[in-house]
Amino acid sequence: MKKGHFSMPIPTSRSELLNAIEVNFTKLFKDLETVPDALCREATLEGHAKGTMMNVHNLVSYLVGWNHLVLKWLDLDAKDAPIDFPETGFQWNQLGLLAQKFYSDYEDVAFDQLLKDFKGAKQEIIDFISDQTDERLYGANWYEKYTLGRMIQFNTSSPYANARTRLRKWKRANGIT
Q: What is the pLDDT of residue 117?
A: 98
Phi, psi for 146 (deg, rounded to 5): -105, 140
Q: What is the pLDDT of residue 7?
A: 58
Quote the distance between the C-alpha of residue 54 and its chain's center: 16
DSSP structure class, residue 175: T
DSSP structure class, residue 118: H
Mean of pLDDT values over 19-48: 94
Give the CA angle between residues 3, 160, 100 to the nearest 5°. Answer: 125
Give the CA angle between residues 153, 151, 154 to the nearest 5°. Answer: 45
Mean of pLDDT values over 162-172: 94
What's the CA gap between 88 and 134, in Å, rounded?
29
Q: What pTM value is reported for the model?
A: 0.92
Is the backbone peptide bond immediately before 86 cis, with ω within 30 degrees of 0?
yes
- Work out whether strand 141-143 and strand 146-147 pair parallel, antiparallel, or are unpaired: antiparallel
DSSP structure class, residue 3: B
Q: How do residues 57-104 score in pLDDT, each as one tens digit?
A: 999 999 999 999 999 999 999 999 999 999 999 999 999 999 999 999
Q: How do residues 115-147 score in pLDDT, each as one tens digit?
A: 999 999 999 999 999 999 999 999 999 999 999
Which is more confidently placed, 47 or 40? Answer: 40
Q: In the structure, what pLDDT confidence band is assigned to residue 48 with cuts at 50, 70 and 90?
A: confident
Amino acid sitting at position 79: K
| Torsion angle (degrees, nearest 10) of CA 146, 27, 63, 92 | -30
Nearest to 58 by CA among 114, 112, 113: 114
What's the CA gap between 35 and 26, in Å, rounded?
15
